[in-house]
Amino acid sequence: MPVNPRGGTILGLPVVNDIGALPDGVDIAVIVRPAEEVPDILIQCGKKGIAGAVVVAHGFGEWGDNGSATEKRLRNALAESGVRIIGPNTSGMVNCTAQADLIGLPELPPKGPVSVLTQSGGMILTLLEDNRSINGPGFDVIVGLGNQADVGYDELIEELGRRKSTGSIAIYNEGFANGRRFIEAAELVSQNCPIVMLRGVRSIEGGKAALSHTGSIAGADEIASRVLPQKGVILVDRSDELLPIAALLATTSLPKLQTGVAVLTDGGGHATLAVDALSRAGVPLASLSEDTKARLRKVLGEEATVGNPIDVYSAINALPDVFPKCIEILASDVQVGLVLTIGMFGGYHIRFNEALLEGENLAAEQIVAFKKTTSIPLVFHNCYANRMLKSDDILRDGGIQVFPSLDWAVAGSRALFERANWLSKQNSRDHGVTSESKRIVVPSGLSAETTAREMLQVLGVDTGEWSAASDAKSVEAAVSNFATSCAVKLDSSVVVHKSDIGGVHLGITRESARAAADDIADAMSSQITPVTNFGFIVTPMVNSGVELFVGATNDPVFGPVIVFGSGGVLVEAVKDVTFRAAPLSPLEALDMINETRVAKLLDGFRNYPKVDKRSLANFISSVSNAIMSLENLAELDINPIIATEGGIYPVDVRLVGK
């Protein structure tokens, strides 16, 4: 129902000249008037009882100072009217299932299970074309998010996740207003509905302060690339993979745990490339049972290659029906979690002989019939798939995706395994006890190390043996209390790099304790700006072990984030770190540990001690719980932590408040 003060008709439709004059029961308004008119229109919509609107106009917050006044009026109008909006500055939305096109596309996209959220109108067109070129399963709801002045990512994924008609959510994202709220929503939505995301603006990193190692290693892209999968979001690297992977996840069952892929092929080259790509993606090949191999040989002949990949080469010229037969045999092997069929099947009648067409179509029908009886996902590559073949369409109509690119088929298979693994960990993950009730405010700037350790201990982190001391005499007493030689260090909230200015003495015994304390005191008084307010911290020496790093930061996007990796002074240069949103369970911490290169040393590499990874994971988890209770946290470095056969020793702790 077009509305315009001038009245008349548009495309033959009578134009209502006032919103108030509309009949009751209008669901949604599409507002295509300039920015400055939008707030008043929203208020009129509210009065008319219209619950939602799409606001296309630009000229709001994205124009900086030029749009800020209009943006403010918009927000007031939203509050006053109670109307919920998509936009402003959006290309609009399409509900393909309801056949409502609020974008103005030349034709309604095909109805299907993939829903789309995007911060770019161009990506909507790309996804529509990509679906067209692979004859994909089609779309449910497509939303251009625009400025997200009102409805944003978190509400949208929750709503899409509730829709029976949505099988997967494909997102093109250029950043989050509130990433923490998104990952909380994503974690819940992902339990039932897969979310696949392509991220833009990855190459632009925010400038960061660097009072700590964490500050300088925690790049926005690195954090996002770990935190999003932690919450179930499947990330894709390439724009041309977003639609294929979302299509597969929306239409296909998941592999069982502890299984692998069976690759069914008709020649060596494609098989080799598939095995390589699966290996790089970390997806295992299935080990076939002897029974399976014997059954395959019956179909393919005694000479056939029935390891994995399974090569039908010798049999195929005569018989396209070997494909359904082999797929059925493979799917019955408990080791097989997914059957990936690659090569020419569907195009034999093009390559060899038109007479094979009927046999291929029949084989495709048999495969679809079998698919209804199994929960094993079937994925197809066909190098002729761009030709829109009948047999490919039979498979697709049966809910089986066929890709012209081997890389898409493999990337999709990987996504299915990634999702199956993620889901399997959801039940066993206990996020531990977060003492949310305890709130400790971190003082601004650097804290003295003893203060930092005390705060962490109160919050349940075992910071090991250490003593605070105020003068040389108490340093001596503290050293005497430890069985081994000690490190005597400056304890100050002023000095950032204490070792650079003589604030650290190592290997101190009772005999050398006073001298060490005096040396530190001398060093402090001889600074250009003498350091006056300081004490000492005494810790037992830990001589050899693996140097590790545990840090935390309050990421502007994702909130409290934990860092783990190789420790020592070279943290930034070595850059062997990984990230997770806090809090996290020991099981999640174990995943973190195993992602780093230093994990290899922890297994007892060469003369290195074998470290108890579970203790380490418990420690990381305890730090992640603690930082949830730290208000005003900017950055925390526990570096190095020395890991030995006997335990985990936090050697230095640095805490910085905002």
- Least separation in angstroms between residue 278's CB and a copy of itself is 8
The set of residues, in sequence order, having a beta carbon less than 8 Å from that of 59 and lying 6+ positions away, is 34, 35, 36, 66, 67, 70, 88, 89
Nearest to 157 by CA among 182, 121, 127, 132: 182
CB of 490 to a copy of itself, least distance (A): 18
By CB neighbour count within 10 A (0-12 exposed, 13-18 middle, 19+ buried), where does 353 fall?
A: exposed
Are 475 and 488 a contacting pair, CB within 8 Å? yes
Q: Which residues pair with 446 in a beta bridge?
A: 656
Residue 440 is inside which H or E element, if any? Answer: strand 440-441
Which of 459, 523, 598, 617 binds a copy of itself (CB under 8 A)? It is 598
CB 405 → a copy of itself: shortest distance, Å?
4
Nearer CB in complex with a copy of itself: 238/614 = 238
Q: Is residue 439 involved in binding a copy of itself (CB under 8 A)?
A: no
The residues pairing with 139 across neighbouring beta strands, listed in sequence order, are: 114
Distance between CA atoms of 511 and 480, rounded to whole angstroms?
Answer: 9
Q: Which is nearer to a copy of itself, 273 or 515 (CB)?
A: 273
Q: What is the DSSP letter of 284?
A: P
Query: Rule CB under 8 A: is residue 162 a binding residue for a copy of itself?
Result: no
The answer to whether residue 159 forms part of the interface with a copy of itself (CB under 8 A) is no
Residue 302 binding a copy of itself, by CB under 8 A: no
Residue 297 in contact with a copy of itself, rule: CB under 8 A: no
Q: Is residue 549 close enough to count as binding a copy of itself by CB under 8 A?
A: no
User: Rounded to the nearest whole angstrom, what is the least distance from the CB of residue 342 to a copy of itself in the complex?
Assistant: 9
The verdict on 275 binding a copy of itself (CB under 8 A) reads yes
Stretch that binds a copy of itself, among 163-171, 471-479, 570-578, 627-635 (CB under 8 A): 570-578
Sheet holding 28-31, edge to edge: 28-31, 52-55, 84-86
Tell me which of 72, 351, 473, 610 binds a copy of itself, using CB under 8 A: 351
Smallest distance from a copy of itself to CB 343, Å: 6
Q: Output 6 or 497, the one with its CB closest to a copy of itself.
A: 497
According to DSSP, residue 70 is labeled H
Cα separation, 341 vs 323, in Å, equals 8
Cβ(270)–Cβ(343) below 8 Å: yes
316 binds a copy of itself (CB under 8 A): no
Residue 601 interacts with a copy of itself (CB under 8 A): yes or no = yes
- Looking at the Cβ atoms of 120 and 485, the one nearer to a copy of itself is 120
Residue with tokens 């999968």: 229
Q: Residue count at the site for a copy of itself (CB under 8 A)?
A: 63
Asked if residue 382 lies in contact with residue 349, where contact means CB atoms within 8 angstroms, the answer is: no
The one among 51, 125, 369, 458 contacting a copy of itself by CB under 8 A: 125
In the bound state with a copy of itself, the residue whose beta carbon lies nearer, of 279 and 444, is 279
Q: Which helix (H) or strand (E) holds 550?
A: strand 546-555
Gap between the Cα atoms of 457 and 562, Å rounded: 17
Binding of a copy of itself at residue 206 (CB under 8 A)?
no
Closest to 270 measured CA to CA, from 346, 344, 360, 367: 344
Cα 349 from Cα 351, distance rounded (Å): 6
String marking each residue 456-495 x if it binds a copy of itself according to CB under 8 A: ----------------------------------------
Within positions 235 to 254, which residues make up the interface with a copy of itself, using CB under 8 A?
A: 238-240
Phi, psi for residue 209 in degrees, rounded to 5: -70, 155
CA angle 216, 218, 223 (to 5 degrees): 170
Residue 272 in the binding site for a copy of itself (CB under 8 A) = yes
Distance separating the N- and C-terminal Cα atoms of the chain: 53
Stretch that binds a copy of itself, among 42-50, 380-388, 556-564, 619-627 (CB under 8 A): 380-388
508: left (phi over 0), alpha (psi -120 to 50) or beta: beta
Give the contact letters, 95-114, x = binds to a copy of itself (CB under 8 A), - = no. ----------xx--------
Chain contacts with a copy of itself (rule: CB under 8 A): 105-106, 118-123, 125-126, 129, 132-133, 172, 174, 198, 200-203, 238-240, 266-270, 272-273, 275-277, 279-280, 343-344, 347, 350-351, 383-384, 386-387, 404-408, 500, 569-570, 572-575, 597-598, 600-601, 605-607
